[in-house]
Amino acid sequence: MLETVIKRDRDMGTPARESEQTVTLTIDGQEITVPEGTSLMRAAAEAGINIPKLCATDSLEPFGSCRLCLVQIEGRRGYPASCTTPAENGMVVFTETPKLHDLRRGVMELYISDHPLDCLTCPANGDCELQDMAGVVGLRNVRYGYDGANHLKAEKDESNPYFTFDASKCIVCNRCVRACEETQGTFALTISGKGFESRVSPGQDQPFLDSECVSCGACVQACPTSTLQEKTVIMMGQAEHSVVTTCAYCGVGCGFKAEMKGQEVVRMVPWKDGQANRGHSCVKGRFAWGYATHKERVLKPMIRKHITDSWKEVSWDEAINYAASEFRRIQNQYGRDAVGGITSSRCTNEETWLVQKLVRAAFGTNNVDTCARVCHSPTGYGLKQTLGESAGTQTFDSVMHTDVVIVMGANPSSGHPVFASRLKRRLREGARLIVIDPRRIELVSSPHVKADFHLQVRPGTNTALLSSLAHVIATEGLIADEFVAERCEAKAFNEWRDFVSLPENSPEAMEEITGVPAQAVRGAARLFATGGNGSIYYGLGVTEHSQGSTTVMAIANLAMATGNIGREGVGVNPLRGQNNVQGSCDMGSFPHELPGYRHISDNTVRAQFEKDWGVTLQPEPGLRIPNMFEAALGGSFKGLYCQGEDIVQSDPNTQHVAASLAAMECIVVQDLFLNETAKYAHVFLPGSSFLEKDGTFTNAERRISRVRKVMEPKNGKSDWEVTVALSNALGYPMNYKHPREIMEEIARLTPTFAGVSYEKLDKLGSLQWPCNDDAPEGTPIMHIDQFVRGKGKFMITKYVPTDERSTRRFPLLLTTGRILSQYNVGAQTRRTPNVMWHGEDVLELHPQDAEDRGVAEGDWVGIQSRAGETVLRATLTDRVQPGVVYTTFHFPESGANVVTTDSSDWATNCPEYKVTAVQVTRVSQPSEWQRQWSRFADIQQKLLRERSRESEAALTGK
């Protein structure tokens, strides 16, 4: 069940094995057939027989240390551990005999003799495997006292903000160490000492916070006692029910069980049956959910005439009616196209559907856009042109079948950590790795993982590098000729082959442009083309360039040329940044496309929507976000409905964005907090967190997963209800009673979602689109027999240098990215203890560039571009190459996007965040923009506080 009384997921003891061969054996009189390689413990569990265990768990490989799972095998001497003993044909196994009972009780007695007997006050009481096993083996007395040496006074480690390590309760089962190694791949834990002195140690006997631990929670999840325990459980006690939902952070889309006490979350536990995460998690999804109840959440609707006015708290009806009247006033005064909307990549598919529908049907315009365009629109364009579908080709599980991986312009360890853990597991098993990135990311060299090639490309030259890789494959006879002949357009292929074979595209010719040695390029190309199943995973370091769409097409070309499309272990796989970037695109959030990536000018498609919605839709594309800004400054765009996005902090050229918003007459922001965009708003509609809503998210692998309400909205309404109310106030009726009705409409009008329903999602756990009559249970792998467009199309990808090039005035190239503990603009994670790991944005600077500028570690430095200037603290590192600097954008005061420019992708207007020509100098004070930001932020916070005081006075009658 997906909403249940708290019950521990059944643990089968050891992982399942896959084999075409089976074995048949008898366990306690039952005959059972299992795949070859299955442990006796799991075979027994399959027969419904639970063998006692402590060190074994089905998420980890068997270890055989606790000696509690001993069994007796007919005809064999001794009592082997069932977790490490494979089942064999004809075996006769006994799991319960008087001798086994005595042995197990003796083992448990030894464990308990060095364990605190404080079960009644222990936070794990009711959820402790040691306690359970003591009961199972019937332990009633402990003959060994506490007079000798023991560990009962071992100190607790409270350094981690989310969990406690109580060494006095550790039974040294090794599960936490193995989880860190096998599941997470960080190798932050070890066993120090020998014999009686053996203890779990983070790093070199360091506190958890100071060690290499990334706080993914795998060790906490694996611990069978309260040695590793969430602080929320210690504070609140055990939960009484759970609800399965989907994480609202990155594009991995992890499934979680929200364990609850009434309306309060006790903890988030990675769902064992989550098809995207397979029971794993990261620090954000596992622990950083406290923002949902943070004191800074705005829970009452507010309005004001001017942004210099104090906010006035009003009822929902008054706020909605005021917003609707302002939008109608603006349209009457300035024209129909003077207003528009921005959908959210953090909200559900259903909520996004409604916003684009509101803009098209209630506003009567196509002025709708999404933040997904400023990150991954080149993916949609590039893959549509080459393969015929605007999304990745595989499941995350597919990486376990790959032989050679290219990771390009992505840092999975920071941006998609749960996928990164699975990738690192495959690399430890022997897969080869090619990293293409201007920066030395963690995957280049980390414990037990080392890239075969790090092609440290100069920012802005991705297309040139891919052309040189393709040159090697084409000129050295490495093309998968049979695949290409059968699956791809011959004319386009021949033209592409001739193009990449030109001497000007050789690694030697491109070396001066890309900065990558020709020998390394040739080695990487040969490895990818000949190394077996080849997969490509890429991120914003590919798309956020002036040639982002070109680079995506070059990636697809490379995959087709090597035959790496259409089966397990291969494919083209974009790593989406936010939780519903894929979904916001699918739902028709672009001004030129209706849901399902169908152009607004298509009369047949538009007629379907017009009939269903009962309106006439405009056939011409509307304004993209940059066009809205320009129109606002030009005086023709005056009203904006912005749901769940902070465009002031996240969009490039911050000062330009702020000036554009300041020129508008009515900005309606729907969000959790008074973010940077809301400071320019005239109407604030309180948003709801993912814990307070029903709906679906679509992750980077096209996986549609349910989001389930675990608590009532603290603001009184879910986001979809707010959009419905606004549409009704505008005169266009929406009458949905539940998000499932919205999904029914999505399925009715979107071919790739035709077979999707809440009932099917509840039954199957998730679905990957396309889901329709041809694929009623979804499509895990795309393009198996043929491409969606029929024949794959190779595209000419000529390198065109970006305008953002280093000059004498701006000699360095700035590129941006993310860090593990923070998320996007930081609105959520900055309001959690995650700030203990990353409390400010810093500028990474190569020591050589720092020395040239007299900059030392920790100095304040000014970063200036043609767009603006900001000041950050410098950190010196050789992660970046000379001539390149790097920062993140998680803190609004940092102003990273004050520096980024309005340069963008030629096809989609996706901003070129990854290449900005800058100069860096040592400074002693904030930039002028930062001083202005600080003053403006203080004023806006003051206006918000005045709203609070007025409301309190009204309530008390004073």
pLDDT tens readout for residues 609-622: 999 999 999 999 99
pLDDT digits (tens, 9 = 90+) for 923-953: 999 999 999 999 999 999 999 998 866 665 5
Per-residue confidence (pLDDT) for residue 149, from 0 to 100: 81
Euclidean distance between CA atoms 561 and 168, whole angstroms = 58
Q: What is the overall mean pLDDT for the chain?
A: 94
Q: What is the mean pLDDT of residues 251-258?
A: 96
Per-residue confidence (pLDDT) for residue 375, from 0 to 100: 79
Euclidean distance between CA atoms 500 and 472, whole angstroms = 9
Hey, how many other C-beta atoms are within 10 angstroms of the C-beta on 10?
Answer: 10
pLDDT digits (tens, 9 = 90+) for 883-892: 999 999 999 9
Q: Could you tell me the CA-to-CA distances from 791 to 386, 528, 600, 784, 797 in Å, in that order? A: 9, 23, 25, 12, 18
Which of 38, 12, 43, 13 lies closest to 27 in space, CA to CA? Answer: 43
Euclidean distance between CA atoms 844 and 882, whole angstroms = 11
Which of 493, 469, 468, 467 lies closest to 481 in space, CA to CA? Answer: 493
Per-residue confidence (pLDDT) for residue 363, from 0 to 100: 98
Tokens of 855: 């900059």
Euclidean distance between CA atoms 834 and 822, whole angstroms = 7
Task: Name the pLDDT band for 6 (thresholds 50, 70, 90).
Answer: low
Which of 29, 36, 103 lies closest to 71 in space, CA to CA? Answer: 103
Q: What is the mean pLDDT of residues 552-572?
A: 97
Task: Name the pLDDT band for 2 (thresholds 50, 70, 90).
Answer: low
Per-residue confidence (pLDDT) for residue 955, from 0 to 100: 47
Per-residue confidence (pLDDT) for residue 905, from 0 to 100: 87
How many angstroms from the chain centroid is the CA of residue 297?
23
pLDDT digits (tens, 9 = 90+) for 829-873: 999 999 999 999 999 999 999 999 999 999 999 999 999 999 999
pLDDT at 339 over 90: yes
Per-residue confidence (pLDDT) for residue 949, from 0 to 100: 64
- The pTM for the full model equals 0.95
% the chain with pLDDT above 90: 91
Q: What is the mean pLDDT of residues 370-397?
A: 90
Q: What is the mean pLDDT of residues 356-377?
A: 92
Per-residue confidence (pLDDT) for residue 28, from 0 to 100: 96
888 and 816 Cβ atoms separated by less than 8 Å: yes
Which of 421, 475, 469, 471 lies closest to 448 in space, CA to CA? Answer: 421
- What H or E segment, with its residue span, contains residue 572? strand 571-574
Per-residue confidence (pLDDT) for residue 3, from 0 to 100: 57
pLDDT digits (tens, 9 = 90+) for 36-74: 999 999 999 999 999 999 999 999 999 999 999 999 999
Which of 891, 821, 952 lies closest to 250 in space, CA to CA? Answer: 821
Task: Name the pLDDT band for 458 (thresholds 50, 70, 90).
Answer: very high
Helices assigned H by DSSP within 730-856: 739-749, 758-764, 847-853
Which of 52, 825, 66 lies closest to 375 in space, CA to CA? Answer: 825
Return the ∠ at Cα 678 (arms to 336 and 865), rounded to 5°. 95
pLDDT at 340 over 70: yes
Q: Are strands 368-370 and 339-343 parallel, antiparallel or unpaired?
A: parallel
Q: Could you tell me the CA-to-CA distances from 153 to 111, 146, 168 in Å, in that order? A: 16, 11, 6
Euclidean distance between CA atoms 109 and 115, whole angstroms = 10
pLDDT at 958 over 50: no
Per-residue confidence (pLDDT) for residue 577, from 0 to 100: 83
Task: Name the pLDDT band for 139 (thresholds 50, 70, 90).
Answer: confident
Q: What is the DSSP letter of 578?
A: B
pLDDT at 1 over 60: no
Q: What is the DSSP letter of 178?
A: H
Task: Name the pLDDT band for 495 (thresholds 50, 70, 90).
Answer: very high
